[in-house]
Structure 1
Amino acid sequence: MTNHQKRLSVPKAWPVDRKTDTFTVKADAGPHGESGVPLVIVLRDVLGYVDSTKEARYAISEGNVKVNGDEIQDEGRPVGMFDILQFEERDEYYRIFPDEGGRLSLTPIDADAAASKLGRIVGKRHVPGGNTQLTLHDGQTLLVDSEGYSPKDSLVLQNDNNEIVAHFPYEEGALVTSVEGAHAGRIGEIINIEVTSGSADNIVVVEDLDGERFETIEEYVVVIDENFIEGGDDA
């Protein structure tokens, strides 16, 4: 299989220029599915820390790059929405966040905020033993002993032990960010959730931080909290 991906066909969330070269790096298998961006693209095309895949491989082999608290050894490791990037030698920390064009961008955060990450619940099922398994947007699974979580809720997890330190229900009044569609990157409060009949998507009415309202489908919004957008401590 080829290790290259045509730039014109990369997912729209990838932060790459589609008109410069024909090919870019292909993501390895891993979190975030097809939307996952190879780590080397972030290091080279976004941050400018390296000029080539070879340089990225060397930097990573030195243990200078962590994703969600884990030391990374593969420059093709996919990263995506809400992942935490840590460059401790530089004392730099970032959260991957969708910008207003829907492309993934880096939001600087402090070291305390880098100790945890946000996850959106996309699946819930009962497993043998009486526990409940939650699946998050990046494919991570968690076993919990409570029924108090629902799909579309958001959780904040400690990176070192996956402990749930905050839970934000999906409901009217919740603070959300739109991560896809025409309103990607906008942040606001849910004013109304319009439940539609049949298989049609539910519609969410959001009032943004400037007091303007917009509509989007609920699959495009993720619940966050106020500290999350300020680069501070999620918990």
Structure 2
Amino acid sequence: MTRHQKRLSVPKSWPVERKTATFTVKAGAGPHGEDGVPLLILLRDVLGYADSRKEARYALSTDAVLVNGDEINDEERPIGMFDILAFPDRDEYYRIFPDEGGRLTLTAIDADSAESRLGKVEGKRQVTGGVTQLSLHDGTNVTVEDEATYSANDSIVVDNESKEVVAHFPYEEGALVTAVRGNHAGKVGEVAEIDVTLGSGSNIVRVDPVDEAATDEPFETVEEYVVVIDENFIEGGAADSEDEGDDE
């Protein structure tokens, strides 16, 4: 199996230039499925902290890079929406967040915010011992005790050290959401109405701008494209992602 990925065919969410070279690095197995961006791309092409795969491997071998609180040694490890990328030695912390084009960007956050990550609940089921297991958008699972508290499309905040749920944001009218895919990716607003579609079709969500005085307009999108967030998750600026490097 090839270790490379053609730039022209990478997911639209990947923060790479598509016409500067033929190939880029291929994501390894892990969370986020095919949408996951290889860590090497963020270290080399976005942040410029490594000039090559070899330099990135060395940095990772020193345990200088944390993803969701865990030391990562694989430069192909997929990174995706709402992951926390931390460089403790540099005192730099980032949250992966979609911009208005749906492209994943690095949003600078403080050390306290980097101690937990947001996850969208995509399903739940009973496991051994009568405990409820929540399946999150990135493919990870979290166990909780009060099943009735959580529903699909809710969002939770998971502590990176204890892996326990420390906050819960229900999916309901009035909830603050961001669109993560589609024509309205990156937009933020409050759920005005959830139009339930009978049959197998997707529910339609109508979203109003948070600030009525702003120039943003209401929009509609499918339920799968919105994630409930807390206002703290949209603070901070995106890191510069202009520089692109070589692939090897």
Q: TM-score, normalised by structure 2?
A: 0.91
Structure 1 alignment gaps of length 5 or more: none
User: Between Structure 1 and Structure 2, how many residues are aligned?
Assistant: 231
Query: CA shift at 1:208, angstroms?
Result: 2.1
Q: TM-score, normalised by structure 1?
A: 0.96
Superposed structure 1 runs of 4+ greater than 4 Å apart: none
Structure 2 equivalent of residue 75 of structure 1: 75
Structure 2 equivalent of residue 194 of structure 1: 195
* Whole-Å separation in 1 of the counterparts to 2:130 and 2:90: 45
* Whole-Å separation in 2 of the counterparts to 1:34 and 1:208: 31
Query: CA shift at 1:62, angstroms?
Result: 1.3
Contact 2:142 2:164 in 1 (8 A): no
Structure 2 equivalent of residue 217 of structure 1: 222
Relative contact order (C-alpha < 8 Å, sep 6+): which is higher? 2
Structure 2 equivalent of residue 230 of structure 1: 235
> Which runs of structure 2 are paired with 1:137-176 in the superposition (5 Å)?
137-147=137-147, 148-176=149-177
Query: CA shift at 1:217, angstroms?
Result: 0.4
Instruction: Give the residue type in structure 2 aligned to 1:175.
Output: L
Structure 2 equivalent of residue 38 of structure 1: 38
Structure 2 alignment gaps of length 5 or more: 237-248
* Whole-Å separation in 1 of the counterparts to 2:211 and 2:143: 39
SS of equivalent to 1:89: helix
Structure 2 equivalent of residue 49 of structure 1: 49
Query: CA shift at 1:138, angstroms?
Result: 0.6
Structure 2 equivalent of residue 90 of structure 1: 90
Instruction: Give the residue type in structure 2 aligned to 1:230.
Output: E
* Whole-Å separation in 2 of the counterparts to 1:220 and 1:95: 19
Structure 2 equivalent of residue 60 of structure 1: 60
* Whole-Å separation in 2 of the counterparts to 1:21 and 1:97: 25
Instruction: Give the residue type in structure 2 aligned to 1:215.
Output: E
* Whole-Å separation in 2 of the counterparts to 1:129 and 1:50: 46
* Whole-Å separation in 2 of the counterparts to 1:63 and 1:129: 36
Structure 1 equivalent of residue 208 of structure 2: 207
SS of equivalent to 2:143: strand
* Whole-Å separation in 2 of the counterparts to 1:185 and 1:175: 13
